[in-house]
Structure 1
Amino acid sequence: MSGTVLLVIDMMNTYQHPDAEKLAPNVEKIIDPLAGLIAGARERDDVELIYVNDNYGDFTAEFSDIVRSALEGDRKDLVEPIAPPEKCRLMTKVRHSAFYASPLAYLLGQLSPDRLILTGQVTEQCILYTALDAYVRHFPVVVPPDAVAHIDAELSDAALTMMKENMSAEIIPAAECLG
């Protein structure tokens, strides 16, 4: 049993897509808080670190291939500080929610966490949909707004409000997530 699960969602990104120009500056702002959360998770026995990343339609890709592509992409500076450490759990997904077409629900059923901390990108897309899927599975959700990146600020604010009001998510700074 893990007290807390820290999910790092879709951070292995090449930044070679239509929204990259809008997204990358917002990702820059979350790298330090996210790197701090990852480091804190690695130091604790009661926190499970799980990276979930889109496979971008490549169903032959191993997680290491996705990381390698991201590190060779346009913004490796946004990948290197938060690249998956050894001995953490890695899984791919195929759409917006970290639960969709991934073994995440099964794994969380085995771990029985007290709460999930959702980090990564994109707040108004993958983070929101993952929060909803976690909520319907009765997992308490925490979202640190300084550790999630958005494309559209207005939609991000709306998504955070929806997660708080409709899904009972706790919205707190990254520095407060691990107590």
Structure 2
Amino acid sequence: MHGPMSDTVVLVIDMMNTYRHPDADKLIPHVEPIIDPLSRLVASAHERDVDLVYVNDNYGDFSAEFSDIVRGALDGERPDLVKPIVPQHGCRVMTKVRHSAFYATSLAYLLSQLKPERLILTGQVTEQCILYTALDAYVRHFPVVVPPDAVAHIDPALGDAALQMMERNMSAEIIPSAECLP
């Protein structure tokens, strides 16, 4: 454990991406504008000693360490979308195998130890991994915050619908990233 425990945990979901997958061309234009707000939020979390947890898909490679996933993303098609938010040494990291950051990971256990009053969900993809992680957080009674300028969608209509569903059905707070860590 580092520093005093904060009442907030920032999750960075699936941002270590090679962008070598079928939807990459649709996703990239929506990832580009979130990099600055997301990297500012990550920097702010570090400055304020707010817990930061990177959860990333292992893309079916069960021998991959988190560092391998980061290296693969940095060697991928768009290292410029990865470099500004690479986890710093000592950051909490875990790999996942399906959409939700909770599914078959130790995230629920970690959060039971940290006891946050809210989870800030960032990353990609809004209508997939962000939505399913929000639902899993909600059913575990974690208040969810989603900054729309720090999540990326593939399909704009589905991304908007996912944000609406999170707000309406999961009581998520939808606020700009700059307001997440006041």
TM-score range (shorter-chain normalised) is: over 0.9
After the TM superposition, which residues 17-56 of structure 1 pair with which residues of structure 2 at under 5 Å, given as runs?
17-45=21-49, 47-56=50-59
Alpha-carbon separation, structure 1, partners of 2:154 and 2:98:
17
Equivalence map 1:120-139=2 (5 Å): 120-139=123-142
Question: Normalising to structure 2: TM-score of the pair?
Answer: 0.97
Q: Which amino acid aligns with 1:73?
A: G
1:158 and 1:176 mapped to 2: Cα distance? 22
Residue identity matched to 2:167:
K
Question: What is the count of residue pairs matched by the alignment?
Answer: 178
Consecutive unaligned residues of structure 2, counting only runs of 5 or more, are none
Whether 2:152 is the aligned partner of 1:154: answer no
Counterparts of 1:2 and 1:174 in 2: how far apart (Å)?
17
SS of the aligned residue for 2:17 comes to coil
TM-score normalised by L of structure 1: 0.98
Instruction: Give the distance between the partners of 1:18 and 1:147, measured in 2 at CA.
Output: 22
Amino acid at match of 1:3: D
The alignment status of 1:66 with 2:83, answered yes or no, reads no
Distance in 2, matches of 1:120 and 1:48, equals 16
How much has 1:87 moved relative to structure 2? Answer: 1.4
Moved segments of 4+, more than 4 Å: none
Q: How does 1:7-18 map to 2 (within 5 A)?
A: 7-18=11-22
Give the secondary structure class of the aligned counterpart of 1:29.
helix
User: Alpha-carbon deviation of 1:2?
Assistant: 2.9
- Pairwise CA RMSD of aligned residues? 0.6
Q: Distance in 2 between matches of 1:100 and 1:54?
A: 11
For 2:163 and 2:84, locate their aligned partners in 1 and report how far apart those are by CA, in whole Å. 25
